Amino acid sequence: MSQGQKIIMTVLSLLLLGILLLIYSSPAPLDWSPSYEQNDTRPLGAKVFYDLVQKHPGDWKDSTIPPFEAIEEIPDSATYVFINDYFSTDPDEFGHLLNWVRRGGHLFVSASGISKVLLDSLALREQVFPEAFEAERIYTLSLESPMNLSQPATFDQLHRGEYFEWGDTTQVQVLGKINDQNSLDPEESKPNFIQLREGNGLVTLHAFPEVFSNYFLLDQVNKSYTEQVLGTWDLDHPVLLDHYIKSGKISSSSPLYLVLSNRYLKAAYFTCWVLLLLWVVFEGKRKQKAIKLIRPPENKSLEFAKTISSIYLNQEDMTQLGQLQLSLFWYYCRTQFNLYEENREELAESLANKSGVSLIETQGLLKQLTLLETKEQLNQEDIQRINEFIEDFKSKQTHGRNLQPAG
C-alpha cells in the first residue's frame, strides 16, 4: 500500500470513528414505545409502578410463565394482574383462566387492546373515541363511587381513547370513565374501567394501561388515580403480577444481545471492530524490507574531459598539450593510412594519395605542423592553429575517414 493510500485510509477511519462517537455521544431520542416492563425506565415502561408496588404491604408474586401454568400454582382467591398495551390469549388458555375465576379468582386486565376471545366470552365490545387520533387531544380519567379523586387525572400524549360497550343483559359495574378534556358535557364520558362478576370470582377490565407507566406516575394527581385502581385488588390474598405477556419483554439473554441493547456498550463494540479492521489493513499484511534502489553508474566522460581541458587552458605554457595534439595526429596517420613520419617528403606524397587531399595542401599541413613541433614553447594561439590545421585537413579528406577526432 502506497503512502497516499495509507493517508486516505487513516483519514476515512478517523472520520468513521468521529461519526460513531458523535452518534453515540448525542442524547438518545425519547422512546415512547409501550413496554410496561418492570425494569424499563422509558416513559411507557413500568419501573416506577413496580418499585411502588414492592414497597406496599402485600403478598406480591411475579410470574414469568404462561397463564395456564401460573394458575396451577396460585390459590383460587388470588388476584392475577396483566398490564400491557395488548392482552391476547388463545381460547383454550382463556378457558382455563375463566374456570379459575369462577372458582373465586380475580382477573385484572389493563390493556388498550383486548382479544376478541375475552370480550366475546363476557359479551363486551371495545370502541374508540371519535376522532381519536387527534395529536393534541388530552384525555381525562375519572373514578366512580366509592372511589374518589379531587380532580380528574389527565394524559397529554397520543391515545386512541378505548372504552367498553355492552348489551342490556350484561351486568357490569362501572368503576371509571374517560372523556375529552375539552368536552363540556359529562354525559360524553365513556366507561373504560369496569368490573364483572363471573361465578364466584371477578373480572376487572381497564382500557388505559398508561396509568401504570413511568410518565403517568410523575404527576401526583395521576399517582392518586393509580393507587385507587390498586384498591380494587384484594391485598389480603396473593397478588400475581404477570411478566410473561409484555411488549417490552427481553426475549434473548445472549451476551451479544445484552451488549447491543446498551447504547454505550454498543458504541464500544463497534469501535473495537473498526480498530480491528484498521489493524488488519495496516499491520496484518506481510512485512517486507524495503529494496534499495540501485542506479546505473553515470557516464562522466564529458565532465572528465572538461576537467582535464580546464587544467591545460589555465596554464600559460601549453607545449605539452600541443605535443599531445601532434602525437594524436601522427597516430591517426599510422592507424588510418599505415604511414610513418620519419621521411616527411615521402609522407606528404603518400598521405595526399591515401587521403584524397591535394599534394600542395598536404605538404603545407606537414610543414606547419613540423614548425610547431620544433617550437620550444607553445601558447594558446599555437594550440588553436594546430587544431585548425588538423580539422581543415580532415574536412577535405575523401578517403580513409574515421569516426573519431584525431586531435
Q: Are 38 and 229 in contact (CB under 8 A)?
A: no
pLDDT tens, residue by residue, 89-121: 889 999 999 999 999 999 999 999 999 999 999
Q: Which of 49-53, 268-272, 275-279 has the highest mean pLDDT?
A: 49-53
| 192 pLDDT tier (thresholds 50, 70, 90) | very high
Contacts of 343 (CB under 8 A, 6+ apart): none
Predicted local confidence at residue 348, as pLDDT: 85
Q: In what order do the strands lie in the sheet with 139-143?
A: 60-63, 239-242, 79-83, 106-110, 201-206, 190-198, 173-180, 139-143, 153-155
Residue 353, SS3 per DSSP: helix
Q: Is 388 helix (H, G, I), strand (E, B) or coil?
A: helix
Query: For the CA atoms of the chain, what is the radius of gyration?
Result: 56
* Of 330, 336, 328, residue with least CA distance to 399: 336
The pLDDT assigned to 404 comes to 45
pLDDT at residue number 300: 81
Cβ(204)–Cβ(232) below 8 Å: yes
Check whether 406 has a pLDDT greater than 60.
Answer: no
What confidence category does residue 2 fall into, taking pLDDT thresholds of 50, 70 and 90?
low
**Are 1 and 10 contacting, i.e. CB atoms less than 8 angstroms apart?**
no
Q: Which of 25-34, 272-281, 346-355 has the highest mean pLDDT?
A: 346-355
Q: What is the mean pLDDT of residues 68-79?
A: 93
**CA gap 16, 271 in Å, rounded:** 9
Mean pLDDT of the chain: 84
For residue 208, name the pLDDT band (cuts at 50, 70, 90). Answer: very high
Please compute the mean of the pLDDT values over residues 73-95 and round it to a whole number.
93
Separation CA 246–CA 45 (nearest Å): 10
Q: Is the pLDDT of residue 261 over 60?
A: yes
Per-residue pLDDT at 354 exceeds 80: yes
The pLDDT confidence band at residue 315, using thresholds 50, 70 and 90, is: low
pLDDT confidence of residue 403: 39
Q: Is residue 258 over pLDDT 80?
A: no
Q: Does the model's pTM come out above 0.75?
A: no
pLDDT of 342 > 70? The answer is no
**What pLDDT was estimated at residue 266?**
78
Residue 82 scores a pLDDT above 90: yes
